[in-house]
Amino acid sequence: MKLRNIAIIAHVDHGKTTLVDKLLQQSGTFRDNQRVQERAMDSNDLEKERGITILAKCTSVLWEDTQINIVDTPGHADFGGEVERILSMVDGVIVLVDAAEGPMPQTKFVVGKALKLGLRPIVAINKVDRQDARIDEVVNEVFDLFAALDATDEQLDFPILYGSGRNGWMANSPDASHDVGMKALFELVLKHVPAPVVEEGPFRLLGTILEANNFLGRIITGRIASGSVKPNQTFKVLSRDGKTVETGRISKILAFRGLERQPVDFAEAGDIVAIAGMTKGTVADTFCDPTVETPIQAQAIDPPTVSMSFIVNNSPLAGTEGDKVTSRLIRDRLLREAEGNVALKVVEAADKDAMEVSGRGELQLAILIENMRREGFELSVSRPRVVLTKDENGNTLEPIEEVVIDVDDEFSGVVVQKMSERKAEMMEMRPSGGNRLRLVFHAPTRGLIGYQGELMTDTKGTAIMNRLFHDYLPYKGEIAGRRNGVLISNDQGEAVAYAMFKLEDRGPMMIEPGWKVYRGMIIGEHTRENDLELNVLKGKQLTNIRTTSKDEAVRLTPPIRMTLEKALAYIESDELVEITPKSIRLRKKHLDPNDRKRAEKSKEAIA
């Protein structure tokens, strides 16, 4: 069978998954009367809720007599590890660029990786029907980006298509009829993307995506580099350094046909398939014939930049809302996640009740935590910390990110001021159309933790911020943290409206009447810099004496709503976020006030 393997890469929200929907529809994968949900490739619950792609996924369409395997990739920088692995599996990429926003940080990241592998991209200018589209400028920006990334002359001679993924058309000109459909894109893929290179020798496959199935066990997806494979065939697994991990028999081979995976009796080199039957083999391992001795070289993955401690929940309310609370269950779940996600690194901390988890950003770690709480886990997590390293001379280096902020003119001053307070260095400032400016900064990752919410407040929700790992550079010095202290409960019980009403002048609350609180739990934000302990359990003293004065109505100010990401960004180093399937609570690391004072004194003594 004639084959083509392509990946669709782009920045977040530029329309990759919507484009795949239309390719599936117009290739005849669905029946005319078949009901298909929007963004069919986003099958995960969190993907549907947030409208973003988190996991890379494969599908395939049949166009004329050629099978085209398509990989839909995430666009968010935190999930860049997914994209890096996928590129070794394909022979061509479609770079999707928004006709108004132009190439963004993640576009630069994934295109750079694709060009290094020698892939010749197809550029698709999407959303040309936007009112603020600037098609010619965007094409020039794409060319400049390719040139800046040291593209070869052959790669710089890229074909361009224009269209709208949502309306289901792509053509050689932005003024073409909207009835042409995706024919131009299909034909360009067949003409421009080379057929898979088939190597000589027995069966070899590099593991790229790992998943668990209740019926088949571990399933690994990858492209067959050489040879062919049949069910019940013996195989062995080689690690990256050439050691044999395990041997066994392939129980099932699944090929991608539309949105479904169908069992097949035979698969040959060049095709992307999923195989089952292994118990230990994982991502970046080589699955091969028993005669093979040399593993396939796996693509190097960029290092993690942010780490967090995942700690057993030891609050007084532990175990009341979740059923997976022990350190062993948390440890096994994190190690299982690290197996399939090469951008995550999990290490057991010196304290046996904690695990150190490092990833690409707060969002990646927040998605992991959200998945765990939905599975019934209870745990506490620390504030995200950056992963520091040393150079040859012993100087401390920290991760620096390239930050692109699109903002209205009137708010540019406050954005520049806040970024400079966070030790950011402005690299570029230029108009981006519609009375908006594009500001480009190089900022330390630790300065950006928690800035997203502040940016939204400062710009009345109009700014768009995009981040991308830039490099490890010398440490930039101390950055001022949260300016306000917190209000802490001094007793355990249920919060009372009367007590909360009397304490409102101390600062905004984070809890509601009737919520369970405990000693050391954070219940609000203090209006001053210091922390303050309060009693929110004290009800009104009732007597049997009648009075002429009316009871004053208790009208409470709505509390601060803490989402998971907001809570992670808000806490300081001496605080934790307690996460259960039903609640997100903020607390002090040391619940007893005397322990807190001792910890503070020892910290001052060390300093």
- Positions at the binding site for GTP: 13-18, 126-129
225 touches 267 (CB < 8 A): no
60 touches 88 (CB < 8 A): no
User: How distant is the alpha carbon of residue 401 from its chain centre?
Assistant: 16
Q: Give the H or E element holding residue 469.
A: strand 464-474
Spatial distance between the Cα atoms of 247 and 238, rounded to a whole number of angstroms? 9
What is the sign of the dihedral through the CA atoms of 356, 362, 366 and 367? Answer: negative
288 touches 239 (CB < 8 A): no
Strands (E), 64-171: 66-72, 92-98, 122-126, 160-164, 169-171
Which residues, listed in sequence order, are joined to residue 164 by a DSSP beta bridge? 169
Spatial distance between the Cα atoms of 127 and 107, rounded to a whole number of angstroms? 16
Which residues, listed in sequence order, are joined to residue 252 by a DSSP beta bridge? 276
Q: Give the H or E element holding residue 390.
A: strand 389-390
Distances (CA, A) of 82 to 60, 78, 381, 536: 19, 9, 24, 47
Relative to beta strand 267-268, strand 228-229 is antiparallel
What is the sign of the dihedral through the CA atoms of 585, 589, 591 and 596? Answer: negative
| Angle CA 245–248–250, to nearest 5 | 120
| Angle CA 431–432–433, to nearest 5 | 100
Residue 477 in tokens: 């010095």
Spatial distance between the Cα atoms of 557 and 586, rounded to a whole number of angstroms? 19
Q: Give the H or E element holding residue 436.
A: strand 436-444
Spatial distance between the Cα atoms of 155 and 161, rounded to a whole number of angstroms? 16
469 touches 360 (CB < 8 A): yes
Report the binding-site residues: 13-18, 126-129
Residue 251 in tokens: 């129980």
Spatial distance between the Cα atoms of 519 and 533, rounded to a whole number of angstroms? 9
Helix H, strand E, coil C: the string for 561-606 is CCCHHHHHHHCCCCEEEEECCCCEEEEECCCCHHHHHHHHHHHHHH
Q: Measuring CA to CA, which residue among 25, 18, 7, 15 is closest to residue 183?
A: 25
User: How distant is the alpha carbon of residue 279 from its chain centre?
Assistant: 27
